Structure formats: structure tokens, C-alpha cells
């Protein structure tokens, strides 16, 4: 069983940076594997039908917003488990995992129902009526994988708190193989077999529904692999308990924080539908590519959260891992910015040969190149704050940044000033810049003093039982 050797909380800057990098690399690769599933689906569907690609882009925007709240509940385990491990209490980390799984299960069915309810808003806001059946078909196929995906996140977070990152990477590789094979077969049917020079067997072309089913199968694989790894750990004795309510008290603000940010992109994904199928497809491709590079910063954010939690659990100052995490995240996203600036047409061309989609996608990647750095800084700062158990301020900062600053500018630039999809992206870029500034200022202030461990009387912390 592979584990990352964790430097002590008081290690020098070089040792701490190496520990962060060793933690962040496999987390990043696992995250990239998750995004690769979506990119592979986009490539397969984009070659088959621009109409289905547009429908799936809208459906994913809805599902991502709904899933974000559940992800927040799963991520409540980050401070609970990492601080428990830092304090030398692994049994309490296991108890927190079990409570987190119960909380995720309670959320799953209402979340799936909400995703379907959201489709009732599509036609009133101007989305082409012809796209809506495809949106619902994808959501139907995706529904069985909702809880397995959240369970995978919880198990993965538990393992990361122990410095064990390989199972999540193995899971993402296995899930990609299953998803790619099933997506090709279910979306294209016998056409896929013909491309592989195999005889037809009567497979139907399921389009958007097939893509959703393939994603669900991938989620089941993700959960199965990390579950097996987590079960190797000794379970908590009966006296150890973490109340499910404690998970919700931490997880709800985290979920709202993610929902506010992803909700802005989800609404953007829906209103882009007013600009036509080509624009929606270009938006989907550019957003998928931006999400791919964002996984690097998200991996650093996960590692930073673990290290900040370990430091607080051990009674050590968390400022050093927090600041080094910010520097590492900014460096990773600078690489993404350069890639988008230097080769946008080649990147978009991987997913479509449609000239109109290609041109719009290139314009959007130029905007993405500029917001990469700020996107990386804000997610790492949020991860550091989460590791410290500070979950309310990021939520409030997201509201102010995305909905009071970014989204009004999105509507102004995209529609009132008729700048189209590029104007919509410029508006949300402003929100990302504002959020990164607010979260970094908060992090610097918080880490300047003593932080009490979650569950032992910290302001805003959740009691463990």
C-alpha cells in the first residue's frame, strides 16, 4: 500500500514544499483522470453530433451545480480527518468517514430530483427546445452514479488524510477505461463497432443517454477501488463517534461555497444556450479544457488542506504550508495559461472540426488564459481555509464575488453590450479575481493567530459528537 511520507508540521520550507508536491501530484493526476472522463465523452459526442454535445454541455452544467453541494458535504471530512490524524487519533478519522457517507446518502435522491426540476427552467430562459430532451436523457443516465461519486470523494479524502494517494489514482485510470469503452459503444452503437472493424451486433445509438450511463459506470468503478483501499484501515471502536449533524454543520457551508461558484458557471451554461448550438458546444469544449488545467490547482488545494489540518491537529502554526500551497498552485496554473495562450486552435481542434465552433472556442481560451492564475489562487486559498475549519467565510466571499460582482458584469458584457460568449466569460473572470483577493486576505489574517482544532471549541467549528 503506497503512502506519501509526511514531513512533520514544523519542517523547514524546503521539506514542507516537497511534502506538498508529493501529496499534490497524485491528487492532481487523479483529478485529471476525472476530467478526462468528461473530455473523452466530449470528443466522442462532438464527432457524432453537435446537437447532442450542446445538450450534454447544458446537462453537465446543471449536474455539476447540484453535485457541488454534495461534494461540499463529502469535503467536510477534510478538516475532520486531517486534524484527527495530526492529533494522533486515527479512530476518530474513521468515525468521521462513516458519518460523512451517511450524510452523502441522505443528499443523493433529493439532489437528483433537483437536477431534473432545473430542466423546467431551460425553455423559459431561452434555451432551444430541441436541446432539452437530450439534457434530460443525459441526467437520467447520470443519476445512478450520483451517490457512488460522492462516496468516492469521501473515501479518497479519508485516504489523503493518511497520506495515501495511490488508490484514487488507480481508481481514476480504471474509471477512464470503463467510461471510454462504454461511451463509444453506447453513444455511437454499431457505428463504433464499424470504426473498430468489428461486425455489427445491433447496438442502438443512445446519444446523450449513453454518455450519462457511461459516466455512471465510471463512478461505480471510482467508488469500488477507493472503498477497497479504505477498508484495509482499522475501523473505529464503538466508543468513537462523529455525529452526522457535525458533518452537515461543516459540509453545508462548504457545499454552499462550491454551489455559489459552480452555480454561476451552471447558469452561464444555461444562458449560453440562447446563443445557439455552436456557441454552447464551443463553451463546453473551452470549459472542459479550463477544468482540465484547474485540476492541477485543485490537487494542490487538497494537499494544502491536508497539511494545514495536520499542523492544526499537532498544535503547530499552519501559515507555512498555506503560503507554500498558494505559491505552488499559482505556478501550476501559470503553465495552463501559457498553454491556452500559445496553442488554443490546436487544443479546440482536438474536439471538433466545425469551423464556427472552433473559432468561438479559440476566443474563449484566450479569456481562460488570463483567469488561470486567479482561479488557482482562489481554490488553494479555499482549500487552506477548509483545512483550518473556516468554512463560512469562503461561502460569503463566493456570493459577493460571483453574484454581486461577476454575474452582473456577465449579463452586461454578454448581452447588453452584445459581446456574446466572450463577454460572458469576461464577466465571470472578474468574479474569480475578486474571490481570489478576498480569500487570500482572509487566509493571511487567520493564520496570523492561533487556530483551535475543529470540534474543540473553535469559533464556527462543529462539535464532533
Q: How many helices (H) and strands (E) does the chain have?
A: 17, 0
Cell numbers for 92, please give them: 476518530
DSSP letter for each residue of 175-208: HHHHHHHHHHHHHHTHHHHHHTT---------HH
Cell numbers for 410, please give them: 456577465
pLDDT of res. 460: 39
Work out the number of other CB atoms within 10 angstroms of the CB of residue 355.
Answer: 9
**Residues in the chain, total:** 465
Cell match 477534510: residue? 78
| pLDDT exceeds cutoff 60 at 366 | yes
Task: Say how far apart CA 454 and CA 83 lie, in whole Å.
Answer: 8
Q: Give CA torsion, residues 347, 287, 71, 158, to 10 deg.
A: 20
pLDDT of res. 418: 82
pLDDT in tens, 120-174: 988 887 778 888 898 999 999 999 999 999 999 999 999 999 989 899 999 999 9
pLDDT confidence bin for 456, thresholds 50/70/90: very low
pLDDT in tens, 290-302: 888 888 899 999 9
Burial 178-214 (b: 16+ CB within 10 A, else e): bbbebbbbbbbbbebbeeeeeeeeeeebbbbbbbbbb
How far is Cα of residue 335 from the mean position of the Cα atoms in its chain? 19
- Give me the sign of the Cα torsion angle 351, 282, 134, 265: positive
Between residues 44 and 235, the one the model is more confident about: 44
Contacts of 423 (CB under 8 A, 6+ apart): 410, 412, 413, 414, 415, 417
Task: Say how far apart CA 400 and CA 432 lie, in whole Å.
Answer: 11
Task: Say how far apart CA 337 and CA 248 lie, in whole Å.
Answer: 36
Contact between 17 and 303 under an 8 Å Cβ cutoff? The reply is: no
Task: Say how far apart CA 295 and CA 293 lie, in whole Å.
Answer: 5
Between residues 259 and 434, the one the model is more confident about: 434
| Cα separation values, 34 from 73, 117, 288, Å | 19, 26, 11
Contact between 329 and 300 under an 8 Å Cβ cutoff? The reply is: yes
Q: Which helix (H) or strand (E) holds 320?
A: helix 319-342
| pLDDT exceeds cutoff 90 at 68 | no
Contacts of 124 (CB under 8 A, 6+ apart): none
Contacts of 54 (CB under 8 A, 6+ apart): 131, 134, 273, 277, 280, 281, 284
pLDDT in tens, 312-362: 988 888 999 999 999 999 999 999 999 999 999 999 998 888 889 999 999
Task: Say how far apart CA 289 and CA 282 lie, in whole Å.
Answer: 11
The pTM of this model reads 0.79
pLDDT (average), residues 108-128: 89
pLDDT of res. 11: 59
Cell numbers for 112, please give them: 437528483
Ranges 63-67, 88-92, 220-224, most confident:
220-224
| Cα separation values, 49 from 41, 43, 198, 206, 290, Å | 12, 10, 22, 12, 22
Amino acid at each position: 500500500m503506497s503512502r506519501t511520507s509526511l514531513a512533520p508540521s514544523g519542517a523547514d520550507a524546503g521539506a514542507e514544499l516537497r511534502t506538498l508536491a508529493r501529496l499534490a501530484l497524485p491528487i492532481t493526476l487523479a483529478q485529471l483522470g476525472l476530467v478526462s472522463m468528461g473530455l473523452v465523452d466530449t470528443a466522442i459526442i462532438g464527432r457524432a453530433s453537435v446537437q447532442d454535445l450542446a445538450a450534454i454541455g447544458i446537462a453537465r452544467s446543471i449536474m455539476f451545480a447540484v453535485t457541488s453541494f454534495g461534494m461540499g458535504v463529502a469535503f467536510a471530512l477534510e478538516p475532520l480527518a486531517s486534524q484527527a490524524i495530526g492529533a494522533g487519533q486515527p479512530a476518530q478519522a474513521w468515525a468521521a468517514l462513516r458519518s460523512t457517507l451517511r450524510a452523502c446518502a441522505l443528499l443523493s435522491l433529493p439532489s437528483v430530483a433537483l437536477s431534473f426540476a432545473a430542466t423546467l427552467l431551460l425553455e423559459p430562459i431561452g434555451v432551444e427546445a430541441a436541446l432539452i430532451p437530450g439534457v434530460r436523457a443525459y441526467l437520467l443516465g447520470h443519476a445512478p452514479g450520483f451517490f457512488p461519486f460522492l462516496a468516492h470523494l469521501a473515501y479518497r479524502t479519508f485516504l489523503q488524510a493518511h497520506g495515501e494517494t495511490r488508490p484514487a489514482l488507480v481508481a481514476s485510470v480504471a474509471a477512464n477505461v470503463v467510461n471510454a469503452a462504454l461511451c463509444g459503444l453506447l453513444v455511437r452503437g454499431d457505428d463504433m463497432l464499424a470504426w473498430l472493424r468489428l461486425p455489427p451486433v445491433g447496438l442502438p445509438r443512445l446519444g446523450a443517454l449513453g454518455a450519462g450511463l457511461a459516466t455512471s459506470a465510471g463512478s461505480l468503478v471510482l467508488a469500488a477501488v477507493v472503498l477497497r483501499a479504505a477498508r484495509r484501515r482499522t475501523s473505529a471502536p464503538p466508543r468513537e463517534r462523529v455525529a452526522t449533524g457535525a458533518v452537515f454543520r461543516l459540509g453545508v457551508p462548504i457545499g454552499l461555497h462550491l454551489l455559489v461558484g459552480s452555480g454561476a458557471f451552471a447558469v452561464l451554461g444555461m444562458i449560453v444556450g440562447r446563443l445557439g448550438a455552436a456557441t454552447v458546444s464551443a463553451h463546453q469544449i473551452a470549459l472542459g479544457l479550463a477544468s482540465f488545467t484547474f485540476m492541477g490547482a485543485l490537487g494542490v488545494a487538497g494537499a494544502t488542506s491536508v497539511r494545514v489540518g495536520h499542523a492544526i491537529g499537532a498544535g503547530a502554526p499552519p501559515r507555512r504550508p498555506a503560503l507554500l500551497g498558494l505559491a505552488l498552485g499559482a505556478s501550476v496554473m501559470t503553465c495552463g495559461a501559457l498553454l491556452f495562450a500559445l496553442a488554443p486552435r490546436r487544443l479546440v481542434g482536438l474536439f471538433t472540426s466545425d469551423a464556427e465552433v472552433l473559432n468561438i472556442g479559440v476566443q474563449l481560451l484566450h479569456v481562460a488564459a488570463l483567469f488561470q492564475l486567479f482561479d488557482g489562487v482562489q481554490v488553494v486559498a479555499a482549500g487552506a481555509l477548509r483545512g483550518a475549519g473556516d468554512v463560512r467565510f469562503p461561502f460569503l466571499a463566493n456570493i459577493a464575488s460571483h453574484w454581486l460582482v461577476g454575474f452582473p458584469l456577465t449579463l452586461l458584457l454578454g448581452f447588453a453590450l452584445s459581446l456574446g460568449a466572450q463577454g460572458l466569460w469576461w464577466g465571470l473572470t472578474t468574479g474569480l479575481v475578486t474571490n481570489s483577493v478576498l480569500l487570500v486576505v482572509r487566509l493571511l489574517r487567520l493564520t496570523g493567530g492561533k487556530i483551535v482544532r475543529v470540534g474543540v471549541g473553535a469559533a464556527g467549528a462543529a462539535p464532533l459528537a
